[in-house]
Amino acid sequence: MAQALMNLISAPLLAQAGRAAAGAAPSMERARTVSDRAADALQYSIWAAVLYIAIGLVAVLVVVSVLGLVMSYIERKVAGHFQCRLGPMRVGPHGILQSLADGIKLLFKEGIEPGHGDKVIFIGAPIFSITATILLLAIVPVAPGIQVVDMNVGVVYIAAVSGIGVMGILMGGWSSDNKWSLLGAMRAGAQMISYEISLTIAILVVVMFSGTLRVSEIIESQQQGWWIWRGHGVAIVAFCLYLIASTAELNRTPFDLPEGESELTGGYHTEYSGLRFSFFFLAEFANLFVFSALATTFFLGGWLPFHIGDYEAFNRVMDILPPVISPLFWFGTKCTVLIFVLMWFRWTFPRLRMDQLMRLEWKVLLPFGFANLILAATVVLTGLYFFPTAT
Partner 1 sequence: MTTTTSDQANIESPPMDFGDLKSQCVAPRPSIMGRRRSLSGILWLSAKGILRGLLTTLSYFRRPSTVVTQQYPENRDTLQMFERYRGRLSLIHNEDGEHGCTGCQICERLCPNGSIIVTKDKKNEATGKPALDQFIWRQDTCTFCNICVLVCPFDTLEMTGDFESSVYDRRLLVFNLNEYAGPTADQLEKLGDEELAKAQMKPMKKYQGPVPMCGGELDGIPKLDTGKSDDA
Footprint of partner 1 on this chain (CB under 8 A)?
78, 80-86, 344-345, 347-349
Q: Toward partner 1, which CB reaches closer, 311 or 344?
A: 344
Give CA–CA dist 153/215, Å, rounded: 8
Report whether 144 contacts 303 (CB < 8 A): yes
Least Cβ distance, residue 83 to partner 1 (angstroms): 6
Q: How far is the CB of 48 from partner 1 (least distance, A)?
A: 49
349/370 with CB nearer partner 1:
349
**Shortest distance, CB of residue 342 to partner 1, whole angstroms?**
12
Q: Cβ closer to partner 1: 311 or 340?
A: 340
Q: DSSP string covering 257-314, please?
A: TTT-HHHHTTGGGTT--HHHHHHHHHHHHHHHHHHHHHHHHHHS-TT-----TT-HHH
Instruction: Tell me how far, at minimum, the Cβ of 106 lies from partner 1, in Å.
Output: 21
Q: In this complex, which beta carbon is closest to partner 1, that of residue 76 or of residue 214?
A: 76
Would you say 85 or 119 has its CB closer to partner 1?
85
Report the Cα 37 to chain-centroid distance in Å: 23
Distance separating alpha carbons of residues 189 and 168, to the nearest angstrom? 10
Kindly state the helix (H) or strand (E) to which residue 125 belongs, with its residue range. Answer: helix 119-137
The dihedral sign for the CA sequence 130, 131, 135, 136: negative
Count of C-beta atoms within a 10 Å radius of residue 359: 13
Residue 197: partners with Cβ closer than 8 Å, 6 or more residues away: 361, 366, 369
Q: Which is nearer to partner 1, 269 or 346 (CB)?
A: 346
Work out how close the CB of 86 gets to partner 1 at its nearest, in angstroms, rounded to a whole number: 6
Output the smallest distance, CB 378 to partner 1, in A: 19
Instruction: Rank residues 208 and 236 by Cβ distance to partner 1 and give the closer one.
Output: 236
For residues 290 and 302, give the distance between their C-alpha atoms in angstroms, rounded to a whole number.
12
**C-alpha–C-alpha distance, residues 205 and 41, integer Å:** 36
**Shortest distance, CB of residue 183 to partner 1, whole angstroms?**
22
